[in-house]
Structure 1
Amino acid sequence: MSPPTGTDDGAAVPDGGTIVYDLAAECTADDVEEGARYRATVNGVVDYGAFVDLSEKVSGLVHRSNLLGNYDVGDDLVVELGEVRPDGDLSFEEVRLTDYEQKHVPHGTAADVTDLDDETGDTVVVEGQVVQIKQTGGPTVFQVRDGTGVVPCAAFEEAGVRAYPDVEMDDVIRVSGRAEERDGGVQVEVDSLTVLDGDEAAAVGDDLDEALAAAAEPTDIDPLVEWPAFEKLWDDLRDVATELRKTVLEGRPIRMRHHADGDGLCASVPLQVALERFIADHYEDGDAPQHLLKRLPSKAPYYEMEDVTRDLNFALEDRTRHGQKLPLVLMLDNGSTEEDTPAYRNLRHYDIPVVVVDHHHPDPEAVEPLIEQHVNPYLHGEDYRITTGMLCVELARMIDPDLTEDLKHVPAVAGLSDRSEAEAMSDYLELAGEKGYDETDLRDIGEALDYATHWLRYSSGEQLISDVLNVDCENRERHGELVDVLAEKAERDVDEQLDAAMSHVEHERLDNGAHLYRIDVENHAHRFTYPAPGKTTGEIHDRKVAETGDPVITIGYGPDFAVLRSDGVRLDIPRMVTELTEEVDGGGVSGGGHLVVGSIKFVSGMRDAVIDALVEKMADAEIDEDLGSSTALPEEV
């Protein structure tokens, strides 16, 4: 006989104890123990005593010599199990207690979610917190989190009818049911479900909080390379890793927004793989990774209203249709500027938390009141040379250190894609070399990522991008062939674009000695093809830098936008944009980016005034020939 479920140590309650057990209707004789005390209901009275029920399947006799009072059918009393006879009959004695604690006994073996694989086919009892309630066309599925993981519990009523309608999100519950294999995981088919309250709920809740804190703690790892500048951000990254792991365990979805360029992909793809593995390790639902994590590219270098409106709409639909919590929004290689704040305010209306990992020049006073966490090298006296991809590779390793070998080349791709001149680049290149990648290979991966992302537009490209970057890729040969094809096509398309555009580039020498090159990319470059205006401007700029060897500024403009690149000139584009907003009346100026690379928007009728004012500011900028350009331009503006 197993001891009653619910005892603190699994031992039978000794005589004189003050615990009385209340059996669930499904309990059998396997759930009772001699010497324990139970709540019973009289189901029949005879001359020699009274028959009592402890559950639908557990009954026995209280002999009249062991009765302390007179009872009718339906009366309740407390009895002690005196004997289990060889033929299975149970005999009880009535006891009277003035003070006792009553505990509910569900049917089954107490089990942790992590152990359910070994319990399939058996009846189990799981205590935990409801993190999702989904009504299907058949059962109601409650996702229940205990201290070890999350398991779907299917409760059947009439088809499509909500079972246990009083159960709400975040309730602490006890579930009894049969553990069955389903879709590559385990599901509990519910026999009974009870919402816990009072001290019992508090005790389970305290255990869950303690287990959650332990499981959310990131893995203790060493950085891939020794870099004092990077170490300043280490604690911030650990805080974000903790928040992301905790978010997953609490059943809150994550919507990952990232800039649609090489660095943004080097940041988001490793983190996506790490989080999907973490979800799979802690959820018995095989579909949980695709339901709890979405990776979404953003063309603009800030969180556009179009993007946030779509995110909000999908989040609210998922809450209504699938019983999900509203998500956490994770911004990567994006999200640090004042231009992001209108979108953040929209999320704030729904209490949707935002976490930002970025390396663009930030406006902390504007964004930090609206976000939960902000990792950015500028906040520690560093700059864009620490790319977001470098940061997120370490973040991914904190979540899943087993990914380390798959990610060693990724920081180098991120650095080359964003033109980082960090002192650690040589170490990252050496690390990539250990995996068989030379610098040419890494640059080709960056070009292939840019090319694929351009044509994917708003699609994340899931497996294709993973194969190009060779993260969680099952076929290294396929990766190499794919990169070769995409990089070759990217180079061909860039050459065709520049063949058409270079003869239309205008040149002048600024008062500070820098070369200024301008091109109308709307009228003198192919539209709606690769490369886009930002990339086209960057390629022209690189050729002019190589051609002159002098400080160079390049402006590529259209009817209502301009993209900017500079080498050897100490610009501050975010500051310039702020000044233009105030100085050009009616210009409708907005924009930003890094200090020496960025983009601006304006109303088309004020284009000449805005660009002329911008050039005047550039002519006053300090020449610093040791200052390179920071990064590739935004794919779209």
Structure 2
Amino acid sequence: MGNCIICGKPVDGLVCESHQEDVVFEFDGNSPSQLTPDRYYRGTVDGYADFGVFVDIGDHVTGLLHRSELDRRLESLDWEPGDTVYVQVLDVRDNGNVDLGWSIRQTERDFRGKLIDAPDGEHHPEDVETNDDEGSASAGAAADEAEPSGADDETSSADDATPSADATVPNGRGAHAATAEPEPVEESLAEETEGGLNRTTVDSIGEQVGSVVHLEGEITSVRQTSGPTIFELRDETATVECAAFEEAGVRAYPDVDVDDVVALQGEVERRHGELQVETEALEILAGDERDAVADRLEEALEQEAAPTSVDLLADHDAVSAVRDELVDAATVIRRAVMETRPIIVRHSATADGYVAGAAIERAVLPLVREKHTRDDAEYHYFERRPLDGRVYDMDAATGDVTSMLEARDRHGEQLPLVVLVDAGSTAESADGYELLAHYGAESLVIDDSRTDEEIVDAVAVAVAPSLAGADVDDVTSSALAANVAAHVNDDVRDDLVHLPAVSYWEDTPEAYADLATEAGYDETGVSERREAVALEAYYQSYKDKRELVTDLLFGDGEATRAQDGNLAAHVSGQFRDKLETELETATENLESRDAGGAEVTVLDTAAFTHRFDFPTTDLLLDELHRRRDAAFTLGVDEDELRVRASDGIDVRELGEAIREAVPDGGVHVVGGRDGHVEFLQGEREAVREAALEALEELTA
């Protein structure tokens, strides 16, 4: 029998059940079965895998911290092999595998005590060390005879035991308040400030580490960890995390929630290199006090959200036609950053989609870093999620809604701004936007397709030249997105000027070609980047590949060079090899048909393409059409039909003609006037012939 080192309660061991999570253990065993689930252990990083981090617990046992257990992206961890880390043992499986959990506490001083977990029980570290030095009695005996810390003495009790130097205490105050209970705060924090602390802004607390500050702002997220509650507070200058401790895993200040306007006092500290405020007092403001803070925040938001520049990257009629919409879109994006709302960019998994999405990313990330004190904020508040196709359908929307509701309920995050790029501008996406709107999530779209009017009312802003009556044949989504990005963040304008040229496979507007040349990207450099991104967009198309895409599009130094030369040139070489091989096979199996005097090149894509290898059917048909003189190129798959036309074609009109000819074919168009036709596989031949007849009528 011993006494709990935290509260002094008699226990069978050295820590009671209610304080297991307040103690960190050092493992002195040699088998996974000797670990105790739910305890926190000191470990050493062994290495990384795609699915998580391997951590050595002691000298003989290794566990897996799965990426799903992290409170951040795996890629944002700065742990190196050999680093000391602290993790929780969640489970020891029958096969000896050890499942680990994340710990927000990553130094020994973050815990309220330390013990050795040995096969024969728990021991005080000093007892084990003494035993090792003297070689006398066993560690177990020494532990039994040692007087417990903070208990059993007539002049000492659990109530007056002094916590560790960095302990947090149940009144929600930080380490500096641990040894003495402060006087109750009888007046409001705002009233107290008049005679005490002056209000501090978040952007200035980096110079006040170790000092107690008074902050006023809005709560933008709340998340409960296994230790403290983390409130994220935004004022008119920036955002900071504020930790409040009631007891391990218990919600501090349960009445405070997202969107509350508050006054907060606490000590500024650095945790693992990041600024954090250890909360001493937190009060929800009401009445005039609340209105004053809310008005100050709104005024700052309006000023900061307005773009600093409204100059386009180049003189381009199709882009000029949507100048006002470009500014509106940039304003919505900037405001989301200032409000610390996550931004999710959804884009097609094509070269144009990736380049356009990367343009927005390039502009937003520096603003996110500027507004947050967390080093990994850019991974929490901005995400690109490539789409399968160019329709924001219910499948994609359901995934986004599920993710955002989980983030709201588990981590107290605000609802995101969803930005559709090179996708989402046709009527088929309306249901997806409606689902987002049902939960109050805002959305906008940037797309070069011929957009449907229904979308205008479904999103906050639609940057779509076709709605302004502009010719969309010479504009790309990247040209539009790069201009939006330049308005979002004028500081990165020079980084963006070559991106429009990268997105054109042919007939690049001279203005964009000149911009790329002036920025140091000649015609070869531009084409290499386009081809490299097109290839990488295909592989793991559901991932953003942030760092790789950044290297391909923006890097011009060490990061872009493989051992055998320029990275973009290396990858584009693979692109050309794969494309030429597929083109050779396709060309040998083309069928030429006449449609009212116009040549139609037909390819059976189900039979004469490698469907699960690069290039995609869309990219292959694009290149076939560019290389041949036919008026139309028709690709017929098992249940899809795609058409390319030299003078343009309304695919909806084509689909309607096919539907009339094959009424039982389940014919419908996906992606609007620039989309493709889907049908029942059993009606494939009938649909193929109906399409050829329809093309003949359309050219008559």
TM-score (norm 1): 0.77
Q: Could you say which residue in structure 2 is the equivalent of 1:481? A: 566
Q: Could you say which residue in structure 2 is the equivalent of 1:189? A: 278
Task: Map 1:228-243 onto structure 2 (within 5 A).
Answer: 228-243=317-332
Residue of structure 1 aligned with 2:499, choices 401, 410, 418: 410
Q: Contact conserved, 2:317 with 2:470, CA < 8 A, in 1?
A: no
Aligned equivalents of 2:292, 2:608: Cα separation in 1: 70
Q: Does 1:543 align with 2:621?
A: no
The one-letter amino acid paired with 2:552 is V
Classify the secondary structure of the residue corresponding to 1:556: strand
Aligned equivalents of 1:565, 1:273: Cα separation in 2: 33
**1:488-537 Cα deviation digits (max 9, x unpaired):** 111111121122222211111211x2110111111112231111222222
Classify the secondary structure of the residue corresponding to 1:456: coil
Q: Does 1:614 align with 2:691?
A: yes
Aligned equivalents of 1:148, 1:136: Cα separation in 2: 26
Report the Cα offset of residue 426 of structure 1: 0.7
Report the Cα offset of residue 475 of structure 1: 3.4
Residue of structure 2 aligned with 1:558, choices 637, 653, 665: 637
Q: Contact conserved, 2:236 with 2:296, CA < 8 A, in 1?
A: yes
Residue of structure 2 aligned with 1:372, choices 447, 460, 463: 460
Q: Could you say which residue in structure 2 is the equivalent of 1:141? A: 230
Q: Does 1:470 align with 2:559?
A: no
Aligned equivalents of 1:472, 1:271: Cα separation in 2: 20
Report the Cα offset of residue 183 of structure 1: 4.2
Residue of structure 1 aligned with 2:435, choices 346, 352, 359: 346
Q: Could you say which residue in structure 2 is the equivalent of 1:521? A: 605
- Asked which structure has the greater CA Rg, the reply is 1
Classify the secondary structure of the residue corresponding to 2:444: strand
Aligned equivalents of 2:198, 2:243: Cα separation in 1: 18
Report the Cα offset of residue 474 of structure 1: 6.2
Classify the secondary structure of the residue corresponding to 1:208: helix
Q: Could you say which residue in structure 1 is the equivalent of 2:654? A: 576
Aligned equivalents of 1:388, 1:438: Cα separation in 2: 21
**1:105-146 Cα deviation digits (max 9, x unpaired):** 386442111111111111100000111111111111111111
Q: Could you say which residue in structure 2 is the equivalent of 1:502? A: 587
Classify the secondary structure of the residue corresponding to 1:431: helix
Report the Cα offset of residue 593 of structure 1: 4.9
Classify the secondary structure of the residue corresponding to 1:105: helix
Report the Cα offset of residue 305 of structure 1: 3.0
Give unmatched runs, 5+ long, in structure 2. Answer: 1-170, 174-181
Aligned equivalents of 2:648, 2:348: Cα separation in 1: 25
Q: Contact conserved, 1:413 with 1:442, CA < 8 A, in 2?
A: yes
Task: Map 1:187-586 onto structure 2 (within 5 A).
Answer: 187-364=276-453, 366-384=454-472, 385-414=474-503, 416-417=504-505, 419=506, 421=507, 425-470=509-554, 475-477=559-561, 481-511=566-596, 513-545=597-629, 551-567=630-646, 569-581=647-659, 584-586=662-664
Aligned equivalents of 1:573, 1:591: Cα separation in 2: 7
Report the Cα offset of residue 613 of structure 1: 2.4
Aligned equivalents of 1:459, 1:555: Cα separation in 2: 30
Aligned equivalents of 1:593, 1:515: Cα separation in 2: 25
Report the Cα offset of residue 406 of structure 1: 1.7
Report the Cα offset of residue 361 of structure 1: 0.8
Report the Cα offset of residue 199 of structure 1: 1.1
Q: Could you say which residue in structure 2 is the equivalent of 1:17? A: none
Query: How high is the sequence identity, in percent, across the aligned residues?
Result: 34
Residue of structure 1 aligned with 2:183, choices 56, 62, 71: 56
Aligned equivalents of 1:166, 1:184: Cα separation in 2: 30
Q: Are residues 488 and 154 of structure 1, via their aligned partners in 2, closer, same or farther at CA, if it must alter by over 3 Å? A: same
Q: Are residues 570 and 399 of structure 1, via their aligned partners in 2, closer, same or farther at CA, if it must alter by over 3 Å? A: closer
Report the Cα offset of residue 582 of structure 1: 5.9
The one-letter amino acid paired with 1:469 is L
Q: Are residues 319 and 518 of structure 1, via their aligned partners in 2, closer, same or farther at CA, if it must alter by over 3 Å? A: same
Report the Cα offset of residue 587 of structure 1: 2.4
Q: Could you say which residue in structure 2 is the equivalent of 1:588? A: 666
Q: Contact conserved, 2:670 with 2:678, CA < 8 A, in 1?
A: no
Report the Cα offset of residue 210 of structure 1: 0.7
Q: Are residues 226 and 544 of structure 1, via their aligned partners in 2, closer, same or farther at CA, if it must alter by over 3 Å? A: closer
- Count of residue pairs the alignment pairs up: 518
Aligned equivalents of 2:228, 2:333: Cα separation in 1: 30
Which shows bigger deviation, 438-447 or 120-129?
438-447
Q: Contact conserved, 1:589 with 1:601, CA < 8 A, in 2?
A: yes
Q: Could you say which residue in structure 2 is the equivalent of 1:599? A: 676
Aligned equivalents of 2:480, 2:499: Cα separation in 1: 11
Give unmatched runs, 5+ long, in structure 1. Answer: 1-23, 27-54, 59-75, 79-100, 546-550, 624-637
The one-letter amino acid paired with 2:653 is R
Q: Are residues 474 and 161 of structure 1, via their aligned partners in 2, closer, same or farther at CA, if it must alter by over 3 Å? A: farther
Q: Contact conserved, 2:651 with 2:675, CA < 8 A, in 1?
A: yes
Residue of structure 1 aligned with 2:199, choices 110, 114, 131: 110
Report the Cα offset of residue 447 of structure 1: 1.1
Aligned equivalents of 2:626, 2:694: Cα separation in 1: 22
Aligned equivalents of 2:556, 2:455: Cα separation in 1: 34
Relative contact order higher in (CA < 8 Å, ≥ 6 apart): 1
Q: Contact conserved, 2:172 with 2:252, CA < 8 A, in 1?
A: no
Aligned equivalents of 2:369, 2:510: Cα separation in 1: 36
Q: Contact conserved, 1:406 with 1:471, CA < 8 A, in 2?
A: no
Q: Contact conserved, 1:108 with 1:177, CA < 8 A, in 2?
A: no
Aligned equivalents of 1:229, 1:361: Cα separation in 2: 12
Which shows bigger deviation, 513-522 or 532-541?
532-541
Which shows bigger deviation, 610-619 or 160-169?
610-619
Report the Cα offset of residue 213 of structure 1: 0.9
Which shows bigger deviation, 572-581 or 554-563?
572-581
Aligned equivalents of 2:680, 2:287: Cα separation in 1: 62
Aligned equivalents of 1:270, 1:474: Cα separation in 2: 21
Which shows bigger deviation, 521-530 or 433-442?
433-442
Aligned equivalents of 1:477, 1:402: Cα separation in 2: 26
Q: Contact conserved, 2:501 with 2:516, CA < 8 A, in 1?
A: yes
Which shows bigger deviation, 141-150 or 603-612?
603-612
Q: Are residues 485 and 476 of structure 1, via their aligned partners in 2, closer, same or farther at CA, if it must alter by over 3 Å? A: closer
Q: Are residues 182 and 205 of structure 1, via their aligned partners in 2, closer, same or farther at CA, if it must alter by over 3 Å? A: same
Classify the secondary structure of the residue corresponding to 1:177: strand
Classify the secondary structure of the residue corresponding to 2:520: coil
Q: Are residues 134 and 239 of structure 1, via their aligned partners in 2, closer, same or farther at CA, if it must alter by over 3 Å? A: same
Aligned equivalents of 1:496, 1:580: Cα separation in 2: 33
The one-letter amino acid paired with 2:459 is I
**1:405-433 Cα deviation digits (max 9, x unpaired):** 2222111112x24x4x47xx111111111
Aligned equivalents of 2:313, 2:558: Cα separation in 1: 23
Q: Are residues 57 and 605 of structure 1, via their aligned partners in 2, closer, same or farther at CA, if it must alter by over 3 Å? A: closer
Q: Are residues 169 and 102 of structure 1, via their aligned partners in 2, closer, same or farther at CA, if it must alter by over 3 Å? A: closer
Classify the secondary structure of the residue corresponding to 1:620: helix
Q: Contact conserved, 2:658 with 2:667, CA < 8 A, in 1?
A: yes
Q: Contact conserved, 1:315 with 1:326, CA < 8 A, in 2?
A: yes
Aligned equivalents of 1:436, 1:165: Cα separation in 2: 56
